[in-house]
Amino acid sequence: MSRPILQLDALRMVYNADPGILARLSGRADPPVIAADDVSLDLHPGQTLAVVGESGSGKTTAGRIATLQERPTAGRVLYEGEDVTALTGAALKAFRAKVQMIFQNPYDALNPRLTVGQSLAEPLTLHGLVPRAGLRAAVIEMLEAVELRPAESFADAFPSELSGGQLQRIAIARALIIKPRVVIADEPVSMLDVSIRSGVMNLMRGIQRDTGVTYLYITHDLSVARYMADRIAVMYLGAVLEEGPAETLISRAAHPYTRLLIQAVPEHRASATRRTRIRLPGDAASQAGLPSGCRFHPRCPLAQPICREKAPPLAPVGAAHRAACHFADDVQTHGLGAATAATA
């Protein structure tokens, strides 16, 4: 496998670690929140890694750290093997030219007081990549690339005149206009209508084919992850529970959480028949007050006494496939039916 272009190495992110004396005295201190706990992820050039998780899983935090919008409490970010975690000033700016970000909410993505053209030209101006005279041409070219035609009229439009799908295409254009090598996309289609979503996803795939850009694609939807990604990492309460090649992870999932996520995806193409559901014991957990042992055990249908006591490590379960479950092998072979196998 090629050398990773961007690596997150043993990231740890704790919010509210130090609530301050006054808050502690009054008993009003917010408990510390562990948003990322020993998260390691590798991005390989030209490929897509999808990070899948529900709200509070730490997937967005991972993305924000990867773009150095936030600095981790511990751990490193490596770009082409070099530690960039503490970059500032010009070096940080140079890093930003290489690693760009696409955000979730397209309706808020553009400054309402600037035209689309002005917003698109901004990154170019900031990085001094194109002379003033060439800005317009570069903007038009980029608008064409995201299939917004006629590009001229889109360049002069204000954001309030455009639809969600169009705005997200412009947001993608803004991230790509300075030709970054890595793009972190945080749920770029989750706020769009279904029929518009696929267009944006296809656009991103097409651009990757043409330019070889690397994506870190953050999503809550496993089927979107499969469509977009070469590899998938499943996160839960700040930790990676399972990671592997997209197809393998879905067909041979080794973590009960991944299995449950797969079951929960409404599969409409298959016949619309009733599925048997496992009623989960616990409710959605929160990052504050992490459970002991395996962080998933309160909701896990297969939980055993050991799960309450000992946190399972993220261990290999196949080629380039890792999972953090004491019963990973059982789950991989028997699925959620492994309950019987484990207790037997």
Residues between 87 and 106 that touch another protein (CB under 8 A): 92-93, 96-97, 100-101, 103-105
Residue 227 lies near another protein (rule: CB under 8 A): yes
- Number of neighbouring beta carbons within 10 Å of residue 216: 27
Residue 24 lies near another protein (rule: CB under 8 A): no
Which of the residues 181 through 200 are near another protein (CB under 8 A)? 193-199
Q: Is 304 helix (H, G, I), strand (E, B) or coil?
A: coil
Instruction: Give the helix/strand (H/E) hosting 260.
Output: helix 256-264
Which of the residues 303 through 342 are near another protein (CB under 8 A)? none
Residue 132 lies near another protein (rule: CB under 8 A): no
**How is residue 47 annotated by DSSP?**
-
Residue 272 lies near another protein (rule: CB under 8 A): yes
Q: Tell me whether residue 275 or residue 310 sits nearer to another protein (CB atom).
A: 275
Residue 21 lies near another protein (rule: CB under 8 A): no
Are 234 and 258 in contact, with CB atoms under 8 Å apart? yes
Residue 259 lies near another protein (rule: CB under 8 A): no
Residue 208 lies near another protein (rule: CB under 8 A): no
Residue among 261, 294, 324, 339 that touches another protein (CB under 8 A): 261
Are 217 and 225 in contact, with CB atoms under 8 Å apart? yes
**How is residue 313 annotated by DSSP?**
P
Residue 229 lies near another protein (rule: CB under 8 A): no
Are 192 and 106 in contact, with CB atoms under 8 Å apart? yes
Rounded Cα distance between 246 and 108, Å, is: 31
Q: Tell me whether residue 55 or residue 344 sits nearer to another protein (CB atom).
A: 55
Which of the residues 232 through 251 are near another protein (CB under 8 A)? 250
Task: List, in order, residues 6 or more apart from 119 with CB less than 8 Å away.
Answer: 110, 111, 159, 170, 174
